[in-house]
Amino acid sequence: MDDLNADLLILGAGPAGLTAAQYGARANLKVLVIEQLVPGGQALLIDKLENYPGNIGEKSGFEISQDMHRQAELFGAVFLTETVMALEKEGEVFKITLGNNETRRGRAVIAATGSKYRTLDIPGEKEFYGRGVSYCATCDGPFFKNKKIIVVGGGDAACDEAQFLSHLSEEVVLIHRRDRLRAQKALAERVLHNPSIEIRFNTRLLEIRGQSKVASVVLEKAGTGKKYEEAADGVFIFAGTIPQSALISGVEKDENGYIITDQNMETAIPGLFAAGDVRASPFRQVVVAAGEGAIAAHRAAGYIDRIKGEAYL
């Protein structure tokens, strides 16, 4: 076991991975977190994380992510920026293969790889990505100040991002294919009463048109078959997420690819845990991901003690 790089390997540094890193390090484990981008995950895109417990000052997701990252490092967690290409278990040791062909080995793994935004796969979406089509309002919204913006979706992300965009433009049109918003009630009410946001229910986005950039969209009113073209400068799409679970094999997943665990965040493979947006869960929030990360790290510490013969009986 002397060639191990860590006791606990954490894949992903979103809220779940960052919390797991803190709890793992506080349990006196040698923790290595591997993240291909920057710590924070999708929380980085949240303008105001107003429903996170204790965040009365309405810090942004970026600010809270930075705090969580620093906190984990202060407790001793080590972070590595690299892409994970493969995960396998050899006896009681997990081996991670990285994009640079190096490997890392540890006694337990927490998969906190999160999810990515789902695309609509409609004409013009791929062609105009970065030229009017976006999946992040806080990233690209300032480019559309005082311009006409189409937002697609009816969940928390769509409503939160529409709220942000309404501070930049008075022409925000939120289209949703159903007859009511599915976002949390407080957030939905805020959007419904925002004078800068026009909501069109039972409406679908069929096509995005333009030359060098987005110029218009084709919409359809559900139940009528009526299609019409409307001018637009930007299209922000929030149509759900896809779990980043392809790397994790040999475990049970639901029909959408989310990893199924028990209440201890443990998968069917001993020593392999999952937490956050990659895990099958009825409620996806930063606070839920953080809680799952804490549980996963706590149970991983217990697992490591058992295989080392140091479990407290």
Grade residue 310 by pLDDT with cuts at 50, 70 and 90.
confident
Token pair belonging to 183: 């976002």
Centroid of chain to Cα 22 = 19
As a whole number of angstroms, the distance between CA 250 and CA 267 comes to 9
Token pair belonging to 70: 């620093």
The yes-or-no answer to whether 6-116+241-307 and 119-237 have a common fold is yes
The one-letter code for the residue type at 15 is P
Question: Averaged over 118-146, what is the pLDDT?
Answer: 91
Q: For the segment 266-294, what is each residue's pLDDT rounded down to a tens digit?
A: 999 999 999 999 999 888 789 999 999 99
Look at residue 313 in the predicted model and tell me its pLDDT. Answer: 53
As a whole number of angstroms, the distance between CA 63 and CA 53 comes to 14
Token pair belonging to 54: 């204790």
DSSP characters over 29-82: --EEEEESS-TTGGGGG-S--TTSTT-TT---HHHHHHHHHHHHHHTT-EEEE-
- Asked if residues 142 and 134 have their Cβ atoms less than 8 Å apart, the reply is no
Return the closest-CA partner of residue 118 out of 260, 226, 242: 242
As a whole number of angstroms, the distance between CA 177 and CA 205 comes to 8
According to CATH, the superfamily of the domain at 6-116+241-307 is FAD/NAD(P)-binding domain (3.50.50.60)
From the candidates 2, 67, 136, 160, give the one annotated as an active-site residue. 136
The DSSP output letter for 117 is E
Domain extent listing, the chain = 6-116+241-307, 119-237
- Asked if residues 104 and 86 have their Cβ atoms less than 8 Å apart, the reply is no
Strands (DSSP E) along 167-286, which ranges?
A: 172-175, 197-200, 203-210, 214-221, 226-231, 234-237, 241-243, 272-274
Query: Three-class SS of residue 59?
Result: coil
From the candidates 3, 47, 121, 140, give the one annotated as an active-site residue. 140
Q: Which CATH number fits domain 119-237: 3.40.190.10, 3.40.50.80, 1.20.140.10, 3.50.50.60?
A: 3.50.50.60
pTM > 0.85: no
100 Cβ partners below 8 Å, 6+ apart?
Answer: 82
Q: For the segment 144-199, what is each residue's pLDDT rounded down to a tens digit?
A: 999 999 999 999 889 989 999 999 999 999 999 999 999 989 999 999 999 999 99
Question: Averaged over 287-303, what is the pLDDT?
Answer: 96
Better-scored residue on pLDDT, 283 or 306: 306
Q: What angle do CA 94, 100, 103 make, to 5 degrees?
A: 20
Token pair belonging to 264: 């201890």
Dihedral, CA of residue 196, residue 201, residue 204 and residue 205, to nearest 10 = 0
Token pair belonging to 195: 């004078």
Query: Does 159 participate in catalysis according to the annotation?
Result: no
Look at residue 312 in the predicted model and tell me its pLDDT. Answer: 60
Query: Does 136 participate in catalysis according to the annotation?
Result: yes
- pLDDT at residue 1 tops 50: no
Q: For the segment 73-109, what is each residue's pLDDT rounded down to a tens digit?
A: 999 999 999 999 999 999 999 999 999 999 999 999 9
Better-scored residue on pLDDT, 94 or 239: 94
From the candidates 139, 156, 159, 262, give the one annotated as an active-site residue. 139
Q: For the segment 25-71, what is each residue's pLDDT rounded down to a tens digit?
A: 999 999 999 999 999 988 887 777 777 888 887 788 889 999 999 99
